[in-house]
Amino acid sequence: MYRARAYSASSSTSPLASDTIARREPTGRDVQIEILYCGVCHSDLHYVRDEWHDAMPAVYPCVPGHEIIGRVTRTGPDVGALRAGDLVGVGCLVDSDHDCPNCREGLEQFCPNMVLTYGSPDSHGTAPVTYGGYSDSVVVDERFVVRIPSNLDPAAAAPLLCAGITTYSPMRHWRVGPGKKVGVVGLGGLGHMGVKFAHALGAHTVVFTTSESKRDDAIRLGADEVVLSKDANRMKAHAGSFDFILDCVSANHDVNSYINLLTRDGNLTLVGAPEKPLPVAAFALIFGRRSLSGSPIGGIAETQEMFDFCGQHRITSDVEVIPIQKINEAYDRLLRSDVKYRFCIDMASLRSE
């Protein structure tokens, strides 16, 4: 066991502050990683403030962060392909049971015994719960570590480990590609990645937004069209024409207005998570054999596939890089949607304290 530098919260109302935490020494198939960058996800804020108490009660002190980019510094005796110096990533998962039907299919994100990067019981006994990437190092089973293409900016690649795979996975599942018409609802941290992937996959990409001011940015990111969702005539003009719609909105909204835009056998997938249930009109689904589904992150193999795709197409997230000392300010800005489109922490700032 060793001590690592980190930023942690001691309660749901306290700011994140400098701390030291316990990390296990690498054993077996473990790799120790020096963390270079860690993306900031809205989930981090939810967990720190215990806003998911009923589903995932926070345990304090908590160290968030599940968009980790770093370099391997040490490896356990049974590690196979990874070596010291490799540029790697760790996302939302750090372990699973490896034996359930989901794991055997490479779908670790659905494992009933998955271990989240932060906030899950620590089976190694190093700490009460797992600690995330707001730290200078982490130790992870090599099976949950992915390689990062050398041509990607590591800071801009960090959010791919959550926002990236969350949008890439459902597009692959629903076979987004050339000849498909795809909608992306909401142009934020998730939505901007959805636009980039839909465009790179060869689909005709349409962004739905409530803000005219986002039109130019949507086009820059790869959208072929931009539709103001408040314009009833423009919405009606697209009725029954979409093969797939990715809904990235976490606020309450009318999902039926988008279901009506689907063609026969079209699908709308929710990746945003509104706090309250969304009313769904049954007839909008029944007539047209349309479907409404949800999707989390992808499995480890699919996450590696995504990074290889991103390396091929030079896709990264649009990030604002911050020092760790500005993380509390960044959380306040997240609440105001004051970022284009993701924050990423430069962990050199933590080592300089």
CATH number, domain with residue 51: 3.90.180.10
| Residues 44 and 185 reside in one and the same domain | no
| Residues 128 and 177 reside in one and the same domain | no
> Which pLDDT tens digit goes with each residue over 186-205?
999 999 999 999 999 999 99
Res 273: pLDDT:
87
pLDDT at 351 over 90: no
Residue 326 backbone phi and psi in degrees, to 5: -105, 15
| Residues 85 and 229 reside in one and the same domain | no
| Residues 280 and 309 reside in one and the same domain | no
Res 168: pLDDT:
98
Q: The domain that contains 265 carries what CATH number?
A: 3.40.50.720
pLDDT at 4 over 90: yes
Cα-based distances in Å from 134 to 36, 82, 105, 141, 251: 10, 23, 31, 18, 27
Would you place residue 79 in the very low, low, confident or very high pLDDT band (cuts 50, 70, 90)?
very high
The C-alpha atoms of residue 211 and residue 191 are separated, in whole angstroms, by: 14
> Which pLDDT tens digit goes with each residue over 264-322?
999 999 999 888 899 999 999 999 999 999 999 999 999 999 999 999 999 999 999 99
Geometric angle at alpha carbon 325, from 319 and 328, rounded to 5°: 75
Contacts 24+ apart (CB under 8 A), 209-216: 211/187, 214/187
> Which pLDDT tens digit goes with each residue over 23-41?
999 999 999 999 999 999 9
| Residues 52 and 149 reside in one and the same domain | yes
pTM above 0.85, yes or no: yes
Beta strands in 50-131 (DSSP E): 68-75, 87-90, 93-95, 115-116
pLDDT at 353 over 90: no
| Residues 282 and 311 reside in one and the same domain | no
| Residues 241 and 93 reside in one and the same domain | no
Would you place residue 214 in the very low, low, confident or very high pLDDT band (cuts 50, 70, 90)?
very high
| Residues 146 and 205 reside in one and the same domain | no
Per the structure, the complete domain to which residue 27 belongs is given by 2-162+298-351
Please give the tally of structural domains in the chain: 2
| Residues 157 and 25 reside in one and the same domain | yes
